[in-house]
Structure 1
């Protein structure tokens, strides 16, 4: 029974985290469309930081790998722990 409960809790946690990442990606895409790729709104920046549990460095590319917005490269101290979304 304990193992089953652990599995259910883990799946629930993963689902909630995935939804948070999706919401963050949608918020970033909205701001990119509105600002032409120049900046994120303060509310989106706060949401992304909250969803990620701290500072989140993102990089958005379009078709063919063309840079659209975000950080060209993550800060050197964080390059090891980066995750790719999309």
Structure 2
């Protein structure tokens, strides 16, 4: 879900190999983009955080997503502050 920042960050941290999944492209950009030194010309970064398929050349087994049971989540919520994690 690209609308859920937590899911996006999870996919980015778990599915991205920078050598394989990050592209930096140079070329024309929106003239209203003030991040570049030149008006209308700059770079774009593409990050592929999707699950990889064998058809794409990915040969390892892709693990299933593990989710906490409601009971475990409730217990973690109860002891979170005692664990000293912020």
Which structure has greater helix proportion? 1
Greater relative CO, 1 or 2 (CA 8 Å, sep 6+): 2
Q: Structure 1 length normalisation: TM-score?
A: 0.20
Q: Counting strand residues as a fraction of each chain, which structure ranks higher? A: 2
Larger radius of gyration between Structure 1 and Structure 2: 2
